[in-house]
Structure 1
Amino acid sequence: MKDAYTIRVNLKGGIVSVGELKSILTVLKTAQISEVSFGLRQQLIFHLPHSRSVYLGSELSKMNRSYEVDTNLRPNIVSSYVAEEVFQKGNWITEGIYKDILDSFDYDPTLKVNISDNSQSFTPFFSGHLNFVSSNEPNFWYCYLRKPKTNEVHVYSKLIFTNEIVHLSKFVENRLIENPALPVSEIFDSIPDMISVPNEKELKLPKFTLPYYEGFNRYGKKTWLGIYQRNEQFTTDFLLELCELALASKIGELCLTPWKSIIVKGIGEVDRPYWSAILAKHNINVRHAANELNWQVEDASEDALKLKKQLVENFNKLDIRTFGICFGIKTIPKTEVFASIMVRRRRFKLFNFIPTFFVYDISYTEDFDPNGRTKVYFSKGVQRFNLPEQLRRSVLLYNENYLGKVREKPISESKNTKKSKPETIEVHQCPSCLSVYDSRFGDNLAGIPAGITFENLPNEYECGVCEEPKSNFKVIIVEDLVKTTV
C-alpha cells in the first residue's frame, strides 16, 4: 500500500489474551487504523500511514510489544493450539503443554517454527523450517528440518522431549547463522545431548480434511465461534467490541488460524445470543460456502485475493465439486502457502530473459496432500483467460484420483470381510436408558466429537439421552460391528 508501512505483530502460537488484544486495538484506533487482518502464520497485520508511525511505535514500545515494519525477519511461531478441543480427536497434548512450549521461547526465532499435534490437519505440519510434530509417546516430538530456501524436509533420528524444543530450535538456528551452507546431516550430528529417545516409528499423519471452521459449533456443553471475512479484513471497532464481549463472558483468550480467521472458544449457552447480536450489528456472515473457505492466499496481497474471488465465482457458476481440496495462490516468489493445488503467477520471459506479461503455473502435491513436499506440475505458462478452465481440469484430476483409490478395493472384497469372525471391544453403557458411549462415534446429543475416549470425557459429562452422570456408566463388551461390516 502506497504511503503506508505494513506492520506485523507476532502472536505466539496464534494465541492472544483478550486484554492484550484490546490494548493493541485501542492504540490502533487512536492512530486511526480502521482495519486489520491476520496472516498465514497467525500474525496480526495492518497498514500504518507514515505520518502516524512515531506515535504507534512509541505506544507499542510502552507495551513491550515487538513488531516488524515492511519485513518478516522474525516469523511467528505457528501452533495447532487453535485445534485443541474443537478440531482434534484427542491426544496427550493439552493446553498447558502448548503454553509451556510457547512460553519457553525466550527469543524471537529467525527460523519458522511449527508446533503441531499429529492428530489434526487444520494447521500445516511442514510449512516451517523447524517442524515439531507430536509422536504417540507422551511428551516426545518428531523434529523435521527444512533449511531456508529449500523444499527438502529431513527428519531427526531422535524424538525430542517437550522441554528441549526451545533448546534445539536455538541450537539449529545458531548453527545456520554461523554457516548457512552446513549440510543437514552435520547439523543433526552436532546436536548436543538432550532428553530424547530413538525415533523408531515413521510418523503417520491423518488424511487431510479441512473442517468447516466458521459459525457457531457445539463441543461438550460449550460453543465455539469461527469468524471469517471474505476480504480478510476485520474492523478495529468490531474487534474491540468482540474483546469487550469476551471479557464480559469470562473468555480470556482468542485464537487465530492459518486460514486468516478468528476462533472464540468457551462460549456458554446463556451468552450465545450476545455473540449473535454482535455479528448482526457488524453485518458479519458466518455461513460462507466451503469452496471459498478452503483457500490459502498470501498475506496482504490484493492481487492474490482478487484472483481468488474470480476463481471461486467460476467454481460457483460451474457448480463443481471441490470437497477435500485445499487451494493456494502465490504471486510473490518464496512465500509459504499451504495447498493441495497451487496457482503460481510469474512473468513470462521473452527469449528467456526479458519479463513481459503474467502467466500462471498450476501444480499439485503428491496424493493432493497439502502437507506433501513433492510437487507435480499440471500445466505451465497458462494465460489468464484460460486459467479457470485449467484449474477446473485439475479439480477433475483430483476427483479421478479419489475414484481410483476407491476402485482399488472392490465392493466384493468388503462383502467378504463380513464372513470373518467378529472382534469384541469395550464400550460404556448408561444404566438408565441403556444407550452406549463408543469413542469412535462420540455423542452428538451431548456435543462430543468422535475420537474422545471415555476416560478423557469431562467429569461433568452426562448421557446425551437421559443426562445420567458419567460416574454411573458401566463397561460392557460388545461385538465390533464396524470392523466386521466395513
Structure 2
Amino acid sequence: RFPKTNVLYCWPALVYSEDIPGLSSAVERVIYANKELFFDQPTANGTLLHSLVSASQAFVLQPLTAPLALPTFTLPYYEGFNRYGSKLWLGIYRRDEQFSVSFLKDICQLCLQTRLGQLCTTPWKSLIIKGIDLADRSLWDVVLRRHRINVRHAANELNWQVEDHCAHGLALKHELVRYFNEEDIRTYQLCFAIKTQPKTGLFGSIVVRRHFDNLTQTGLHAEQYEILHTHDFNPNNKDFISFRKKVNRDNLPWYLAQLCDYFYELQSAPALPSPPEETASVTTASPATAPLYQCQRCLTVYDEAYGDEARSIAPGTPFTSLAAYCCPT
C-alpha cells in the first residue's frame, strides 16, 4: 500500500520468507527517494516501483502463477506462551504500548544466551519471540517477573490499532475496551482501528475515524466520529462502508456494540442448523366402539357376547334384535 493512500500493488512474484525484510527495506528506500512519485500520490505506479526496486537489489524470486487469494481473516491471540511443535513462542503486549529499555536489553541478552535470532513485532505493537526451547521457559519467566510483565490481557484489548505516539487515540481505546468489558461485548474475529489524523496507515474490520463538526455555540469544535467497516469485515479489504456519521464520543461505545451485533447476525444467519422438519403424524382411526347397553338404575350391562340366561336370551344375540328387554335386577 503506497503511503498516505489506499492504492494497493501486488508484487508480481513470490518472495522467500527470509527475503521479506530485505525487500521491504528496498521498497521503503525507493519510495522515500522518490516521494514525488510514490508518497501521498493517488496515481502511484506499482510497475515503476517494481522496476526501480529490482534494479537496486537482486532477490531470489519465484513466478506468480495465480492471483493472490487471501485466506479468511482470523485474528490471532498474540500474547503469552504458546506451543507449536516442540517449541514455544512468547507474545508480549503492553497496555501503554511502551517497553522499557532495560526490559528490551534483558530480552536481547536472553536471546543471545539461548541462541534465538529473531524478534518480531505485530501491528498491535506487541513483541513475538519464536523458537523458545521448552527447557528454557523458566529463563523467560524470570525476565517477565523481573519487569512485572503481564501476559494475560483480555483478548478484546489486543485487537485494536492506534496511531503511534497518539495519547488521544490510546485514551479512547481504553475507554472503549472498558465499556466492552463492562457490557460483556463479544469481539471475536473483529479488529478495530482508531484514526485521529487523515491518511494514517491503520487497518481494521471496524474503523473509528475522528472528524470535526462546525463550531458549537461555545466556539469549540465538537468532538465527533465516523464509524466505518469493510463490506465483509475483513481488515485486508479497503472497501469501507459508513455505518454512522457524526457520533458524539459519549455515544460511540453504544454504536460500536450495535455494529458488533450486526456482524454476528451476518455470521450466524447462514450457519445456524435448520430446525428439523416436523413429521406429519398419522393418526390411525380406532375401530368404532360398540355401544354400551347399561341399566340407568342399577348399572347392569347387557353384553351381547353372553346374552342373558335369566331372560332366556342366547349368547350372541344383538341388543337391537330384542323387541323388549328389562334389566333382570
Structure 2 length normalisation: TM-score?
Answer: 0.69
- In 2, Cα distance between equivalents of 1:161 and 1:358: 44
Do structure 1's residue 341 and structure 2's residue 181 form an aligned pair? Answer: no
* SS class of match (2:269): helix
- In 2, Cα distance between equivalents of 1:334 and 1:287: 33
CA positional deviation for 1:226: 0.9
Structure-to-structure mapping, 1:11-50, within 5 angstroms: none
- In 2, Cα distance between equivalents of 1:309 and 1:210: 19
CA positional deviation for 1:185: 6.5
Q: Please point out which of 265, 270, 294 is paired with 2:130.
A: 265
User: Structure 2 vs 1, CA of residues 269 and 387 (structure 1 numbering), >3 Å: closer, same or farther?
Assistant: same
CA positional deviation for 1:301: 0.9
- In 1, Cα distance between equivalents of 2:113 and 2:45: 53
| Structure 1: stretches of 5+ with no match in the other structure | 1-127, 130-147, 413-486
Do structure 1's residue 251 and structure 2's residue 116 form an aligned pair? Answer: yes
Do structure 1's residue 177 and structure 2's residue 36 form an aligned pair? Answer: yes
User: Structure 2 vs 1, CA of residues 334 and 161 (structure 1 numbering), >3 Å: closer, same or farther?
Assistant: closer
Higher RCO (C-alpha 8 Å, min separation 6): 1
Quick one: which amino acid aligns to residue 6 of structure 2?
N
Quick one: which amino acid aligns to residue 401 of structure 1?
L
Q: Please point out which of 372, 383, 387 is paired with 2:252.
A: 387
CA positional deviation for 1:282: 1.8
1:209-253 deviation line (CA, Å, top 9, x unaligned): 111111111122221111111111111222222222222222233
Aligned to 1:286: 151
User: Structure 2 vs 1, CA of residues 197 and 350 (structure 1 numbering), >3 Å: closer, same or farther?
Assistant: same
CA positional deviation for 1:174: 6.6
Do structure 1's residue 215 and structure 2's residue 80 form an aligned pair? Answer: yes
Aligned to 1:151: 6
- In 1, Cα distance between equivalents of 2:50 and 2:114: 50
Aligned to 1:328: 193
- In 2, Cα distance between equivalents of 1:244 and 1:166: 27
Do structure 1's residue 317 and structure 2's residue 156 form an aligned pair? Answer: no
Do structure 1's residue 364 and structure 2's residue 221 form an aligned pair? Answer: no
Quick one: which amino acid aligns to residue 109 of structure 2?
E
Structure showing greater radius of gyration is 2
Q: Please point out which of 300, 316, 338 is paired with 2:165.
A: 300
Deviates more, 1:159-168 or 1:366-375: 159-168
Asked if the contact 1:326–1:340 (Cα under 8 Å) also holds between the matched residues in 2, the reply is yes
CA positional deviation for 1:173: 7.1
Aligned to 1:226: 91
- In 2, Cα distance between equivalents of 1:284 and 1:175: 42
Quick one: which amino acid aligns to residue 377 of structure 1?
S
CA positional deviation for 1:375: 0.6
Asked if the contact 1:208–1:369 (Cα under 8 Å) also holds between the matched residues in 2, the reply is yes
CA positional deviation for 1:387: 0.8
1:191-221 deviation line (CA, Å, top 9, x unaligned): 5999988766332111111111111111222
1:306-329 deviation line (CA, Å, top 9, x unaligned): 111110110111111110000111
- In 2, Cα distance between equivalents of 1:200 and 1:295: 35
CA positional deviation for 1:267: 1.8
1:316-356 deviation line (CA, Å, top 9, x unaligned): 111111100001111122111121101111211249xx971
- In 1, Cα distance between equivalents of 2:49 and 2:112: 49
| Structure 2: stretches of 5+ with no match in the other structure | 277-329
Aligned to 2:238: 373
Q: Please point out which of 104, 116, 120 is paired with 1:239.
A: 104
Aligned to 1:277: 142
1:13-45 deviation line (CA, Å, top 9, x unaligned): xxxxxxxxxxxxxxxxxxxxxxxxxxxxxxxxx
User: Structure 2 vs 1, CA of residues 410 and 150 (structure 1 numbering), >3 Å: closer, same or farther?
Assistant: farther
CA positional deviation for 1:281: 2.1
Quick one: which amino acid aligns to residue 253 of structure 1?
Q
- In 2, Cα distance between equivalents of 1:305 and 1:295: 10
User: Structure 2 vs 1, CA of residues 225 and 377 (structure 1 numbering), >3 Å: closer, same or farther?
Assistant: same
Count, aligned residues: 263
User: Structure 2 vs 1, CA of residues 305 and 159 (structure 1 numbering), >3 Å: closer, same or farther?
Assistant: same
Structure 1 length normalisation: TM-score?
Answer: 0.48
- In 2, Cα distance between equivalents of 1:248 and 1:332: 42
CA positional deviation for 1:366: 1.8
Quick one: which amino acid aligns to residue 36 of structure 2?
I
- In 2, Cα distance between equivalents of 1:334 and 1:182: 11
CA positional deviation for 1:179: 8.4
User: Structure 2 vs 1, CA of residues 264 and 197 (structure 1 numbering), >3 Å: closer, same or farther?
Assistant: closer
Runs of 4+ in 1 over 3 A off after TM superposition: 158-200, 409-412
Quick one: which amino acid aligns to residue 210 of structure 2?
R
Deviates more, 1:181-190 or 1:285-294: 181-190
Asked if the contact 2:5–2:42 (Cα under 8 Å) also holds between the matched residues in 1, the reply is no
* SS class of match (2:262): helix
Asked if the contact 1:328–1:341 (Cα under 8 Å) also holds between the matched residues in 2, the reply is yes
Q: How well do the aligned residues superpose, as a CA RMSD in angstroms?
A: 3.4
Q: Quote the sequence identity (%).
A: 42
Asked if the contact 1:154–1:184 (Cα under 8 Å) also holds between the matched residues in 2, the reply is no
* SS class of match (1:357): strand
Asked if the contact 1:223–1:268 (Cα under 8 Å) also holds between the matched residues in 2, the reply is yes
- In 1, Cα distance between equivalents of 2:46 and 2:110: 52
User: Structure 2 vs 1, CA of residues 201 and 348 (structure 1 numbering), >3 Å: closer, same or farther?
Assistant: same
